[in-house]
Structure 1
Amino acid sequence: MKDAFGIPQSLLVLGGTSEIALATARRLITRRTRTVWLAGRPSPALDRSADELRALGADVRTVAFDALDPESHEAVLGKVFAEGDIDMVLLAFGILGDQARDEREPLNAVRVAQTNYTGAVSAALVSACALQSQGHGSLVVLSSVAGERARRANFIYGSSKAGLDAFTQGLGDALHGTGVHVMVVRPGFVRSKMTADREEAPFATTPEAVATAIEVGLRRRSETVWVPGALRVVMSALRHVPRAVFRRLPV
């Protein structure tokens, strides 16, 4: 169960090598979290992530999980929940893709959509059902400001995150009053290995800053978290820019 401040004692990370997820896990472990499940494709990176968190004093277990294999999600995640209640599920997997290449090779674009949206929908619904059955817990989903308005530079990735964002909001409405808290997190450009070869955008942030915002959101039981917070105003303005003008903006 969560403590009086809303900090989970047990955490399931879907996307166990995500830098944002690991920064969040580290932060929560220093507070109250004692049991962590890292779900991802078996790899040395997943093992290193688990060892890093164990060194902080947590009981860390890994589980083989593939976002692109939704038929396995119910069985894989069901085994995790069968081990005991999970206070928080952090859905943190996703891929950026390569816009220019993905436009030329549609199957690559489909892979972005299947990972970021279809796989996430499956994993989120399975997790939400388990959380509802136990009567408590938080489902935290990493979205992106890229989903607020599709841009020419990354509309394939942005559209997948737009779908995920809308789905998460709807799921939160569906679960309202059940004891399950659903929170969507919308970071801007995050400095990480995933974006190392990309030009940094305004309002860039770090995995640690996103982790801090997630913790604050948990304490407040927020439904939407922007990182940094100023992006709430910026994206609200961009959403209402006429399309003809938006096309000429350097965004």
Structure 2
Amino acid sequence: MRDATGGVQSVLVLGGTSDIAAATVEQLVADRCRRVVLAGRPSERLDAVADRFRSPSVSVEVAPFDAAATETHEKVLGEVFDAGDVDLVILAFGVLGDQETFERDPAAAVEAVTVNYTGAVSAGLVVADRLRAQGHGTLAVLSSVAGVRTRRDNFVYGSTKAGLDGFATGLGDALVGSGARVVVVRPGWVASRMTEGMEPGPFATTPEAVARDIVAGLRRGRSTVWSPSLLQPLFGALRYVPGPLWRRLGDR
């Protein structure tokens, strides 16, 4: 359960090596979070992230989790919840991929879609069921502004985020009245391992800045977090940009 001041005491990260999720956990640990579960495919990097938060006052667990192996989600996530209530779940896994590769190799596109969307639907529904049973807790879903209106240069990735965003929004509606809720996080271009070597996009941000926006949104009870916040009115306007102009922007 959250503490007397509403602080998160336990957090589960699905996609334990995510830079944004790690930055968020760092802030939560500094604010009295005492149980951290990092779920992801076993790797040295996952272990390194776990070591980053482990201390005498913070319990850190590593759970094997494969977003694409949907048949394992109920068992793996069930074990985490059976070990104790979870105040916050951060759904942070996903792959960016390369649009040109996807267009040459549809099988590669399907693999990305399976992780980014199918895996998220599976894990999200399992988590929602557990949070509903607890009667409390928040699922924070890392979406993207790439899904608000897909662009020519990354429409496979963007389409997965569009689907994820719609799923998460609907799931939040389904949880109303249960004590559990969903927060949809829509970052812009983030300087992270995923975008390493790429030219920064407009209004580029950092994992730490997104984390601050997430934590602030949680405290304020927001259902949607834009990061940076100015992207909300910007993309509200971009929805109405004529198709020919939008295609030109998408080719840049």
Question: So what's the TM-score if we normalise by structure 2?
Answer: 0.97
> Which residue is 1:12 aligned to?
12
Deviates more, 1:56-65 or 1:236-245: 56-65
> Which residue is 2:230 aligned to?
230
Please tell me whether the aligned partners of residues 7 and 218 of structure 1 are also in contact (alpha carbons under 8 angstroms): no
> Which residue is 2:146 aligned to?
146
Shift of 1:87: 0.5
Residue identity opposite 1:155 in structure 2: F
Distance 1:103 1:56, change over 3 A: farther
> Which residue is 2:86 aligned to?
86
**1:133 is the counterpart of 2:121:** no
Q: CA RMSD in A?
A: 1.1
> Which residue is 2:59 aligned to?
59
> Which residue is 1:217 aligned to?
217
Shift of 1:57: 4.2
Distance 1:104 1:237, change over 3 A: same
Residue identity opposite 1:51 in structure 2: D
Structure 2: stretches of 5+ with no match in the other structure: none
Aligned residues: 251
> Which residue is 2:103 aligned to?
103
Shift of 1:219: 0.5
Q: How many angstroms apart in 2 are the aligned matches of 1:56 and 1:102?
A: 46
Please tell me whether the aligned partners of residues 205 and 228 of structure 1 are also in contact (alpha carbons under 8 angstroms): yes
Residue identity opposite 1:113 in structure 2: V
Structure 1: stretches of 5+ with no match in the other structure: none
Could you list the per-position Cα deviations for residues 123-176 of structure 1 after superposition, in whole angstroms to 9, with x for gaps in the alignment?
Answer: 010001000001000000000000000100100000000000000000000001
> Which residue is 2:205 aligned to?
205
Shift of 1:6: 3.2
Shift of 1:32: 1.5
Pairs within 5 Å for 1:156-195: 156-195=156-195
Q: How many angstroms apart in 2 are the aligned matches of 1:8 and 1:248?
A: 44
Q: How many angstroms apart in 1 are the aligned matches of 2:202 and 2:243?
A: 21
Residue identity opposite 2:139 in structure 1: L
Q: How many angstroms apart in 2 are the aligned matches of 1:174 and 1:181?
A: 9
Identity percentage over the alignment? 58
Residue identity opposite 1:201 in structure 2: G
Please tell me whether the aligned partners of residues 2 and 9 of structure 1 are also in contact (alpha carbons under 8 angstroms): yes
Please tell me whether the aligned partners of residues 38 and 63 of structure 1 are also in contact (alpha carbons under 8 angstroms): yes
Q: How many angstroms apart in 1 are the aligned matches of 2:215 and 2:246?
A: 34
Deviates more, 1:67-76 or 1:56-65: 56-65
